[in-house]
Structure 1
Amino acid sequence: MTDINNIAKGYIELWNERTPSRRREMLATTWTADATYVDPLMSGEGHEGVDALIAGVQQRFPEFRFKLIGEPNGYGDRLRFCWGLGPDGVDSPIKGTDFAVLKDGRIQSITGFLDQVPQSA
């Protein structure tokens, strides 16, 4: 059985990983080679495409970190979880909900929704 809590935690850790080589290792372990990511602002395909998206978000928000909000839930090969992005120690100014499709316990696709984005972001 797939552990949705570990998958969601690993996803957040991936977006917070600042060392490119370590981030690519994490992608290779936890995402399928043909994985896709899409949200209202960006999209990427494969490990290289997803890695480039993460690097771009980290560059745009260098002092921000992702965190899980609430508990992930899912069934079968589907997973849903909420996240926040912001400085440590304060309520996250940016929040979203991501839906994952899993294949063999790895992320095959992510569809992200932005629930809260300040105009200044």
Structure 2
Amino acid sequence: MHDFNAIARTYITAWNATDAAERAALIEKTFAADVAYRDPIMQGDSHAGIDALIAGVQGQFPGFRFTLKGDADGYADTIRFSWALGPEGVPSVIEGTDVCQIEDGRLKTVTGFLDKVPAR
């Protein structure tokens, strides 16, 4: 049995970690070594790939923070949760929902959907 909310919170914490050593430890805790991440804008594989994605988002949106929207939902080895990204204290700029497969307590695959994106 998985604690879906704990998994989602750790995932969000990893995306918010700006210290490289802290982020690496969170990535190892949260993601399987051979994780595959896909969303409409980016993709990455392995811990190094996830680290590069997180660093890229932090570079593109300095000072923005990820937050969970509501509780995670799941069954068996599948988890779904929604998140928001934006500066603290103001409405989010980007929102999404991720559906993930869990293996040995860590995320094996992440498929992301963008629910709200700014107009270009």
Give the structure 2 partner of residue 52 of structure 1: 52
Q: TM-score, normalised by structure 1?
A: 0.96
Q: Which amino acid in the other structure matches residue 71 of structure 2?
A: E
Cα distance in 2 for partners of 1:12, 1:49 equals 16
Residues 53-110 of structure 1, C-alpha deviation per residue, up to 9 Å, x if partnerless? 0000000000210000011100000000000000101121210000010001111010
Give the structure 2 partner of residue 40 of structure 1: 40
Q: TM-score, normalised by structure 2?
A: 0.97
Cα distance in 2 for partners of 1:22, 1:63 equals 17
Regions of 4+ moved over 2 Å: none
Q: Report deviation, 1:29.
A: 1.7
Q: Report deviation, 1:30.
A: 1.8
Using the TM superposition, name which of 65-74 and 19-28 deviates more: 19-28
Cα distance in 1 for partners of 2:72, 2:54 equals 21
Give the structure 1 partner of residue 71 of structure 2: 71
Matched, 1:23 2:19: no
Matched, 1:104 2:101: no
Q: Over the residues paired in the alignment, what is the CA RMSD in angstroms?
A: 0.8
Q: Report deviation, 1:27.
A: 1.1
Cα distance in 1 for partners of 2:93, 2:32 equals 31
Q: Which amino acid in the other structure matches residue 85 of structure 1?
A: L
Q: Percent identity?
A: 51
Task: Please give the secondary structure, in 2, of the residue aligned with 1:113.
Answer: strand
Q: Which amino acid in the other structure matches residue 40 of structure 1?
A: P
